């Protein structure tokens, strides 16, 4: 069964610090991998999307990496801000068909 | 740019009642989706639609009905609500040429008592 596992489940960091969220997946073959940010009480919003041939993609202070060989991705947040407090969801798209496999998310809390 | 909107945002209903959650998008996206999000689970696909009058089951379709008579609307109906259907429901859409980006609505919080 295709799965997406995220770690840690939750994380608390101080404002200004960096952090890295992990995503391991078994989806194969896959088309692309996305990271979404979901603020409390809101819908998920796309941060990055990477195809299997891409290793890294940045969106401001967010940098996603992908290792298709080990089936791992990470999301690095630089100089965290209070507004980064949210759930971060890793989503892997199967190559054939429209199915997306969602991770359960990592809840990040940035405190001052 | 209205985007994708859901209604109602919050709903409390009784077991056995029929409930319809509405979803409307202004982009003329071909694909529309309904997901439910529960604590400890990732988003799970209930139903999706590739175009008007074309719908298909997702991962957890039991107890739900959808229709897509118009491209912009994709209502989700719980025919006889059960407590296990208490959840947050997200509608989403994707265009054929939107680079695989899926846009989510703000969610509908449903409580079945």
Q: Per-residue pLDDT for A29 more than 90?
A: no
Q: Would you say the C-alpha torsion B39, B41, B46, B49 has a positive or negative sign?
A: positive
Q: Does B48 touch chain A (CB under 8 A)?
A: yes
Q: Which residue of A has its CA nearest to B4?
A: A43
Instruction: Name the DSSP class of A84.
Output: G
Residue A95 is predicted with a pLDDT of 81
- Give the CA angle between residues B81, B24, B66 to the nearest 5°: 40
Instruction: Render pLDDT for A60-92 as a digit per residue (tens, 0 to 9).
Output: 999 999 999 999 999 999 999 999 999 999 999
Average pLDDT over residues B51-75: 95
Q: How many residues does chain B have?
A: 113
Q: Per-residue pLDDT for B53 more than 60?
A: yes
Name chain B contacts of A46, Cβ cutoff 8 Å: 101-103
Q: Per-residue pLDDT for A96 more than 90?
A: no
Q: Find the CB nearest B106 among A43, A101, A104.
A: A43
Instruction: Render pLDDT for B77-102 as a digit per residue (tens, 0 to 9).
Output: 999 999 999 999 999 999 876 566 88
Q: Per-residue pLDDT for B2 more than 70?
A: no
Q: Per-residue pLDDT for B20 more than 90?
A: yes
Q: Which residue of A has its CA nearest to B103?
A: A45
């Amino acid at each position: 069964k295709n799965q997406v596992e995220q770690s840690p489940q939750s994380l608390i960091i101080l404002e200004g610090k960096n952090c890295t969220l992990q995503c391991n997946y078994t989806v194969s073959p896959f088309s692309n991998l996305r990271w979404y940010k979901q603020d409390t009480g809101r819908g998920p919003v796309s941060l990055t999307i990477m195809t299997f041939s891409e290793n890294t993609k940045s969106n401001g202070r967010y940098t996603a990496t992908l290792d298709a060989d080990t089936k791992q991705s990470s999301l690095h947040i630089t100089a965290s801000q209070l507004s980064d407090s949210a759930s971060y969801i890793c989503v892997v798209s199967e190559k054939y068909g429209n199915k997306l496999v969602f991770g359960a998310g990592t809840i990040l809390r940035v405190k001052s | 740019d209205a985007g994708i909107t859901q209604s109602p945002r919050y709903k409390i209903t009784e077991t056995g009642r029929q409930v319809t959650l509405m979803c409307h998008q202004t982009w003329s996206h071909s694909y529309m989706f309904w997901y439910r999000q529960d604590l400890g689970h990732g988003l799970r696909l209930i139903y999706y639609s590739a175009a008007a009058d074309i719908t298909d089951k997702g991962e957890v379709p039991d107890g739900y009905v959808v229709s897509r008579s118009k491209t912009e609307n994709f209502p989700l109906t719980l025919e006889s609500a059960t407590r296990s259907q208490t959840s947050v429901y997200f509608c989403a859409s994707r265009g054929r040429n939107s680079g695989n980006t899926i846009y989510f609505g703000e969610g509908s919080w449903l409580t079945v008592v």
